[in-house]
Structures are given as structure tokens and as C-alpha cells.
Structure 1
Amino acid sequence: MSTRTPLPTVNERDTENHSSVDVFVEPPVPPTKSASRHSLPRCRNSFTSTEEHPHIGNYRLLKTIGKGNFAKVKLARHVLTGREVAVKIIDKTQLNPTSLQKLFREVRIMKILNHPNIVKLFEVIETEKTLYLVMEYASGGEVFDYLVAHGRMKEKEARAKFRQIVSAVQYCHQRRIVHRDLKAENLLLDADMNIKIADFGFSNEFTVGSKLDTFCGSPPYAAPELFQGKKYDGPEVDVWSLGVILYTLVSGSLPFDGQNLKELRERVLRGKYRIPFYMSTDCENLLKKLLVLNPVKRGSLEVFPAFALLHRHSLFGQACSRTESPNDLERILPCVV
């Protein structure tokens, strides 16, 4: 994990996690940029080039806005409509069969997702050596970079963002999809500062009664059962990550971190973190429902009696039943800003 510009720390008051352990007494640690992941895949020819900007299909490729080991992301513009998109360009020749399989799964999952707070996959173009994923462009960049530049969010702003994140994650869980890599770096902002969840490279389908066993995602956001090498249902690891995200939005810091992976693991397994003095009691209580060490008690957004409980907190506003559809949730969640 590479260190990014540190965020300012704050005075805090101690709290005790509902996981029945003493409170961790070190100050919050600023988020660190997670090591970039690389995965992605295959498709057919429609690449042309001009002296200034190459084209792929109906898109003119512009500047590079992201880069990984086997892929890069370019800003592009549709030649007819002028619409800006993000094009993920994957070198298939660098991927082994396992990585290709993972990539195809990511594409398959993104194709079936249609939610206002999830990055949309518009088109897949394949050439002999390269795969192009044409996706929605979120011009506001990463939430992580926003926190580095502006510091922590006020709770009013944080709850508006968190409502959108929860709505999108619940939408995925209702479709038996678990993200497994929820973190500030994978939360993008569009031009209107709305959340767009990105990077489904670690996502997978889950089945009730079956278990997943892959350690996925960024360690500071990983649930304790992942550090213990235990199998898991799926949604509960996203719920833990949501707790870490909520804490990060409100405090500008990570609840769990360490000088190395061993230290981080110990802190996560103890489930101890500090509550900033400015954090509201409602937000603190909500964190205690999300950052629960026992995954059975943590539950999932779909069956968590809880999802209704989440909405009783001022962080969300009026209560809703656990059977509300995503559209209903979108009507309800924005009701308090």
C-alpha cells in the first residue's frame, strides 16, 4: 500500500465497539492509496488512427486518465454525439487464462447492472490483442482524491454520498452480486458529485447456501473473516467495507491501519477504532451496526433487519421496509440532505 498525502488528524473521544473489545487508542490513520489491481480481457477489430488522436469504433481516444500493469484508461469522445466516455484498454497478450476468466466475469456482471450510482458499461470492443471497455466517465474523480484535497466531509455531505453507495450495493446484493472491493478509490464522482461505484474486477455472483473463499480487495477495507481465511457468503464482506467507507467519509481517516499487513490484521481482528469528537451519536451507532466482528450478526443489506434500522438514523432519514425495491429506495434515501 503506497502512502498518499496525509489528511489532517482530529481530536477524538474513545468509544467501545459492539464487538466487545476495548477501544483502540491510537489516532486515526489517513487513508492510503491501495496498490492498483490489474485484471482484464478479449474481443475484434475496429481500430483506426489519425496523427492527433487514434479512434476505436466511434470513439476518439484523448488523454490517459488511469494506468495499471496490464491496462490503461483513456478519456474518449464519441465522434457523432460528442459524449465523453472512459475507455479501459486491456492488453490481452499479458493476461493468463485465469485473469482472462476473471475479466470476462467482470464484463458479464457489468453488463447486467443498471443503477444510477454504478458506472455503466456502454460497449465492449475487441481486437486481436486488445479489449476495449467503453464506460461512463465520472469527471469528478475518486472519492479518495477528493478527501485528500478537501479533507473529511461534513456529515450532511457524507450521508448524501453514503445513501447512494448503500442503494447501489443493495441493488447488487439483490441480484446476487457481491463487489468485494469497495473502497474510496473505487468510488467515483460525476460532474454533479453523485457517486459512481467502479471496478468490478473482484466481483462475483453468490448463491445462498454456498460459500466464497477468495481474499479480495484492499486490506484496510477487508472484513475480519477474510484475514482469518474463513469462507463467507458474500454480502457481509461488503457490509464491513461500507462501515469503513462511512468512517472514512466522516473522519477523513481509516478506522484500521498499520505499518504492515500483520499490524493491520491484528487491529481489524480486535475491531477497535477511535470515534472523532465531532461525529454524531447516530453516525457512531450506525458504525457499530456495520463494523461487527461476527459476520452472522453483521448480516447482509438484504436480510439485515437492519436496513430499516439504518434509515431510522438521522444519517438516512425516514425508515423503509427491507422489501423496498431499488427504485423505492432511491425515492426514500434522498429525502434527507
Structure 2
Amino acid sequence: MLTAPKIPSMPFDPDQALRLAQETIDIEAAAVLGLKKRIGPAFARAVDTILAVRGRVVVMGIGKSGHIARKTAATLASTGTPAMFVHPAEASHGDLGMIKPVDLVLAISNSGEVDEVTSLLPVIKRLGAPLIAMTGNPQSTLGRHADIVLDSGVDKEACPLNLAPTASTTAQLALGDALAVALLDARGFRSEDFARSHPGGSLGRKLLTHLSDVMRTGELVPRVTTTTPFMDLMREMSRTGFGAAAVVDGGDRLKGIFTDGDLRRLIERGADLRSLSAGEVMHANPLTIRDDVLAVEAAELMDQRGITRLLVVDAEGRLCGAINSNDLMRAKVI
């Protein structure tokens, strides 16, 4: 029966672990800072070339560089640059058909000599797709065949054996992010554009959800006229559970609002409630919000004014909806 070989172990030294952790951070920070002096004309040409591409940026890499390539492709795609990851080994077995002459290839390899990547270079050249290399060895096979070389070289890995890709992959990651940031700026990419590619996230909900998408409408909006008796006003408020009622004229134009707080104040004053009408107890000219704004704007207005509900009007000033903080929370806007 075969048994797994035992891995030699040493007594755990917490001080040594802390020292190595701090050294790792120092080495990787130095690797990233070292990129700054190598960001020059080649980087600018790479950005300009990608901007001119009519297709997609096809990012390639294998091993640890492959993980960085996947992340780089995802970051580019979410910031306005169409991109995808193609595994070099799979490309040799059919996936190369994903790459078209209108695309651009960004190949990431620290050594620049990985067989799975270098074997594809003649085919990429025949396709006519521009090739950008991100490598720690500009004189490598990959570097020599590339149209543009981005030098991601590091002095040493953080690994004590100087073997495991650590500082080199950190540098690749930073350089990929630098490309994405430069490209999104050049494209005039805005927060609204980012939200459109992230509709399921909190930012997407805040920037894409309009008030009209989440507000109460129709029978869910409590409303009475100025002549409505006070007791009928109370019934309307209870019916909807909104905690307030809009007071409108015959054309549904907003005249005022009556809230739970107004009711408490009337009771404290000892007013004869049964003798009053909605027009006599309402708060005139209430704060409103337009129906064509983002839902997050309603949340911000409520927060600024210290209130929990708003009446919504259209461009002509007619009552068309109502919203409260609970509605916004259910919609995950706040």
C-alpha cells in the first residue's frame, strides 16, 4: 500500500512567521513601486493601441500568471474595455478560434518562455492581431515577438527560495490595474457606466434604480381632498399604513400632507378632531420629489431633512406616488 511521503516540519516559530510576513510585504511593495520607473512610452502606446481595437482584448497566461490574466480580463471588461480570458493550453486545442484579427492579445508571462504561450505566437502573428506582452523578461521569446512590451520585472520573489511567484504576480496585478484605470479614464468611463456592468451589486442598485421603479402608486398612495372629514382621513391613513396622507385638489395637484406626527400634535392641543376637515389640519406645501430621479436621491433627501417619507409628483406637479424608508430598504437602495 502506497503512503504519502512525509513533509519535513520544524517547530513553529511565531517570531519567524511575523518577520517573514513583514518581509513579504516589503518585497512586494518594492516590486510594485519599481514599476513606476518603467511606466513610459510603451505603456502609453499600449493604451492607445487598445483604444483603437475594434474587437476584444484577449488576455492569456498560464499558472499563476493565468490567475492574474483572468483577473485582468475581468477588470478590463467591468471598466469599459471588452475583454476575455483564453487559456493558452485550450487555445492550442480549438479555443484559438475565439481570437479574431480585430482583437488584441495581451499575453502575461514572467519568464516569457512558457511553451503553452510561445507556441501560439506564430498563429497570433498570422492572424494579424496586435500582441502586447507583459513580462519580466523583455528579451524573452514572448518579448521579442510582441508589438509592445510592458516590463513587469522584479528584483526577487518574496518566497524565501526565490521560486514561488509572489512579487512577480503582485507586479503583474498592479500593471494590469494600471492599464484598466488608464483606459477607463481615456474612454470617459463614468460611475453610471460601471453600474450598468454591475447591476446586481449595491452600486448598480443605487445608480440604476429610479424612484418610479420602487415608489408606491395607485391605490397604495393614501390621498384625500381638502374637504374630506377628519375621520375619513384617518381611515385612509390606516388603509395604506403609510403613516401619512396626501391632500389633493380635484385635479390631483398636491395641496398638503397630514402625518402621524401632525395627529399627535393635534391631540396634545386638545383639538375637536371630529369637526375638522383634511384641509384644516394639513401641512401645506409639503416637501416633494420628482418621479424621474434616482431612488438614492430620495434616500439622500430624507436623510438631509430628517424625515422617513416623501410624496412623489410628476413634471406637472400632480401626485403620482409615495415612498418611505422601508420601501427603499426593501429595494436595497439603502
Measured against the shorter chain, the TM-score band is under 0.3
Give the structure, 1 or 2, with the largest relative contact order (CA under 8 Å, sep 6 or more): 1
| Higher share of residues assigned helix | 2
The normalised TM-score by structure 1 is 0.19
Q: Which has the larger radius of gyration?
A: 2
